[in-house]
Chains A and B, each alone.
Chain A
Amino acid sequence: MKLTLKIWRQKNADDKGGIQTYPIDNVSEHMSFLEMMDVLNEQIIAEGKENPIAFDHDCREGICGSCSMHINGEPHGPDRGVTTCQLHMRKFNDGETIYIEPFRAKGFPVIKDLVVDRKAFDRIQHAGGFISVPTSGNTQDANAIPVPKIDADNAFDAATCIGCGACVAACKNASAMLFVSAKVSQFSLLPQGKVEANKRVLHMVEQMDKEGFGNCTNTGACSIECPKEISLENIARMNRDYLKASVSSEA
């Protein structure tokens, strides 16, 4: 395949940045998108005129959540239920022009080229994304509290979030509601997490607002673009929990 790549280049956080054009041929349709980027970088290094393109990536099997490209206007590109590293070139046509940009949001400042800073997500988790149980080795037996399968399954589905930030990048308001609600839901569905549920949802939402993420207007783009297909139901559950916690005397 022969392609024309229009890629966002930005030296550092202070640089204005802009799109540059790179032609590439010899792309196999069996390559993953990031392998295509590797080939391009090898080409750039061989020419020796400029620095290769920086992008985040690590596991390359769709689970670490590092990769974060906005491809032709969609986070993680045109395929559904995959991250950029699992997107394959067979989803594109020979001769196509592909636009590659970083995830864009106020909460995700660009560090360099396609690499963005997602520490805001970590800070939201510090605010309450946990159950307060120390490592003692003396917690009660794992089977002491049966958990209805449906709750366990729903908690698991929410917990599969990889924290990549595609939901924020997809949202016109750069809202982080899908990400935050996935964590809130996982814990509020499990008996172990219910104890601190009120405090948790209030603190995490407060931190989310502080980080500059926008509000949710229920367009659902986040869930469609989510590589793990996290359901919008989680946002509804978080809104319910938040309302309940706001009027509760204990929180």
Chain B
Amino acid sequence: MSVLDAKIPDGPIKDKWTNYKNHINLVAPANKRLIDVIVVGTGLAGGSASASLAEMGYNVKAFCFQDSPRRAHSIAAQGGINAAKNYQNDGDSVFRLFYDTVKGGDYRSREANVYRLAEVSANIIDQCVAQGVPFARDYGGLLDNRSFGGVLVSRTFYAKGQTGQQLLLGAYSAMNRQIGKGKIKMYNRHEMLELVKVDGKARGIIARNMITGELEKHSAHAVVIASGGYGNVFFLSTNAMGSNVTAAWQIHKKGAYFANPCYTQIHPTCIPRSGDYQSKLTLMSESLRNDGRIWVPKNIEDVMAIRKGTKKPTDLSADERDYYLERRYPAFGNLVPRDVASRAAKERCDAGHGVNHTGEAVYLDFASAFVRYGKEEALINGEESPSEDLILKLGRAVIKNKYGNLFQMYEKITDENPYNTPMMIYPAVHYTMGGVWVDYNLMTTIPGCYAAGEANFSDHGANRLGASALMQGLADGYFVLPYTIGDYLSHDIRTGEIPTDTPEFDEAEKAVRGRLKKFINNKGSKSVDYFHRKLGKVMWDKAGMSRNAEGLTAAIAEIQEIREDFHKNVFVPGGMDELNPELEKVMRVSDFIELGELFAHDALQRVESCGGHFREESAELDGPQKGEAKRDDINFAHVSAWEWTGDPSKPVLHKEQLTFNDIKLVQRSYK
């Protein structure tokens, strides 16, 4: 039997959350004032949790490594947020959102969690509008929607290509209200480096003040980790430069199990890499696939001519182009889920059809959308027989209104005008579905330690659908944690303030100081980035879009070598007691190297293809689904939760069996 208890409430799925809320313990308002909660991370999950918990009356201490909570990487989410509002009257419902999310996750998520997510999704939109989030509206003044990959309804709410920014600023404004009242104490430019446990419970953290270098002890009755995902283990990803796994990894090393680390989302629409100096990759919102068509030239001769510059993409006629997503997946076309679209792009590029000098790029073309919208606009304007130029002009204006900032961003980075020539895109690491294992309450395997948002593993299974990350972050922070954490804290009303002058805090601080000192005094010769790039290359080549046993075994050995070399030869300039970006990086990369190995172990162990995890050994060999991913529900319908043993090479696996009562497991088909 597994030691993992997901604590899923009994009863029919549609009543679980309501019944559960009706029966949990509450904390009286006067007692909430006596209870402290630490929140690490101020993105959508951490920001919304901090604000909500403070509103309820708890004393919140919030931490972020950025210079302001408003800069957390949720800010960069572009496309939108899903909610089962059915404003478009296209048949949407809580059940459909639940179903799409479980199916999109390739049946590797927990039904009860996902249903709750779908259930609270509509509240999120109401809450955000009340906070002054300026969502896109139509001329009648009502909210507008668009469609995202893997679904057949329009349920995505958006604010141009800056939805994440607007939602985060909404949560930030809710935080500001509480900071102004003194209910949240905000610690900017602080990095959590250790969890402190007292009597087995999470009771505080050690955080480094990144300006002075001082190590600070902070105590609380519960600790929430909302520090985001670990995509930067690949070095190049669409994550921010500072995005890291450290908070999540440190709680893992203190007893929190880490679930499904190999579930990584490789996003199909990113700007292709251009050179070795590249520091990060830039995402172009999935919403572009609403109007853009993806293609490569059919003939290799045309590919070569385009690479040489003797032909332009606009020179090719429709029948010289291969709209491969529309060809392979007629039902969903360009709006297949992200994992499917990414693999299809890789397949075409591996076959030699990539359209730039690296051979790793496909076209995203808006030409037909310009014409479609242009004709529509012309009719609205009363133009019965508009010229081609006018149609193009009107159509471009519509696209500009929808995706203006994305087109501008593309032009600034690539120096090409996407209104005149198709964009070039290629998949890149974007999001990690895996994360800290949590139960239905979002509590980790450490009592009193919670994980929310991308940092946990619970809602997206093996593949996340577009516009669902924002939904989950805000659901966790606004509507789930505030309830579940109260149930736990109701036992702490008599505890009183947790002192920090205890052996537990002293030891934790000493351990952190030791780690920092070791790196500062290391007599190495290679920079932190040297090792990070090396790790990233192993991850991308052997644990990226397509994985096999041989590659993963080799990856484990190579990562072990990198780790050894890193600890011997890394060089960190500067001192401990000052602002020292290299010291910050070395601590993060040290954790990424350990996580990278666990990632490879997890991928090796899962001998099936599901969602973003594609094992070459497990593909359909013939029939209409030939070449598509093949799941193995008999042996792998479980969550792989890994326990830290003290040796990064010897993690111990625990399994949480997934049961599906409300959704039938079938092959995920988007044909």
**A: which residues have CB within 8 A of B?**
11-12, 28, 30-32, 34-35, 38-39, 42, 45-46, 48, 50-52, 54, 56-66, 79, 81-82, 86, 88, 90, 111-112, 115, 117-119, 121-122, 125-137, 139-143, 146-149, 152, 155-156, 159-160, 162-163, 186-187, 190, 192-193
Contact = CB atoms under 8 A, between A and B. Distances in A.
Given A65-B70, A82-B412, A155-B134, A42 B529 contact: yes
Contacts of B131: 130-131, 133, 192
Nearest to A26: B277
A58 B123 CA distance: 31
Interface in B67-110: 67-71, 73, 75-76, 85, 87
Nearest to B474: A135
Contacts of A56: 67
B67 A156 contact: no
Contacts of B140: 146
Interface-centre pick from A32, A58, A186 (highest chain B CB count, 10 A)? A58
Contacts of B173: 125, 129-131
A123 B231 CA distance: 32
Contacts of B113: none
Interface stretch (B176-184, B215-223, B303-311): B176-184
A63 B573 contact: no
Q: Which 10 A-B pairs have the closest CB atoms?
A: A146-B141, A130-B173, A126-B180, A156-B134, A139-B130, A142-B129, A135-B52, A155-B134, A130-B177, A64-B71
Contacts of B138: 149
Interface of B: 48, 51-52, 55, 66-71, 73, 75-76, 85, 87, 120, 123, 125-132, 134-143, 159-160, 162, 165-166, 169, 172-174, 176-177, 179-180, 186, 188, 211, 238, 240-242, 274-275, 277-280, 282-283, 408-409, 412-413, 415, 478-479, 482, 527, 529, 571, 573-574, 578-582
Given A61-B76, A122-B69, 7 more contacts: A38-B277, A61-B280, A64-B240, A126-B177, A134-B55, A142-B85, A156-B160
Contacts of A51: 573-574, 580
Contacts of A163: 68, 70
A132 B177 contact: yes
A58 B143 contact: no
Contacts of A126: 176-177, 179-180
B559 to A, nearest CB: 23
Contact of B578 (A58, A112, A122): A112
B51 to A, nearest CB: 7
Contact of B172 (A125, A147, A149): A125
11 contacts: A28-B277, A39-B277, A58-B71, A63-B165, A118-B67, A137-B126, A143-B143, A149-B137, A152-B135, A190-B134, A192-B130
Contacts of A62: 409, 412
A135 B127 contact: yes
Contacts of B85: 142
A111 B160 CA distance: 35
Given A28-B275, A61-B409, A142-B143, A45 B571 contact: yes
Given A38-B277, A149-B141, A64 B73 contact: yes
Nearest to A116: B67
A130 B174 contact: yes
A54 B579 contact: yes
Contacts of A146: 137, 140-142
B127 A139 contact: yes
Contacts of A141: 126
A52 B582 contact: yes
Contacts of A42: 527, 529
A125 B177 CA distance: 8
A39 B278 CA distance: 10
Given A111-B579, A115-B579, A63 B75 contact: yes
Given A58-B71, A60-B240, A127-B180, A160 B277 contact: no
A5 B500 CA distance: 47
Nearest to A79: B412
A152 B137 contact: yes
A77 B621 CA distance: 55
Contact of A160 (B51, B162, B527): B162
A147 B120 CA distance: 24
A89 B29 CA distance: 57
Given A64-B75, A112-B579, A163-B68, A143 B136 contact: no
A48 B573 contact: yes
B245 to A, nearest CB: 16
A31 B275 contact: yes
Given A88-B415, A187-B132, A192-B132, A122 B275 contact: no
Nearest to B139: A149
A148 B141 contact: yes
A119 B132 contact: no
Contacts of B159: 156, 159
Contacts of A133: 127, 130-131, 174
A147 B136 CA distance: 10
A88 B412 contact: yes
B51 A135 contact: yes
A155 B135 CA distance: 10
Contacts of A115: 579
A194 to B, nearest CB: 10
Nearest to B71: A64
B275 A52 contact: no
Contact of A45 (B75, B141, B573): B573
A134 B125 CA distance: 14
B409 A90 contact: no
Contacts of A155: 132, 134
B126 A142 contact: yes
Given A45-B573, A146-B140, A131 B132 contact: yes
A62 B165 CA distance: 11
Nearest to A90: B415
A77 to B, nearest CB: 12
Contacts of A136: 127
B68 A122 contact: yes
Given A48-B573, A156-B159, A135 B482 contact: yes
Nearest to B408: A81
A155 B159 CA distance: 11
Contacts of A160: 162, 165
A191 B535 CA distance: 51
Nearest to B184: A126
Given A52-B573, A129-B173, A137-B127, A186 B478 contact: no
A52 B572 CA distance: 10
Contacts of A32: 279, 413
A97 B85 CA distance: 56
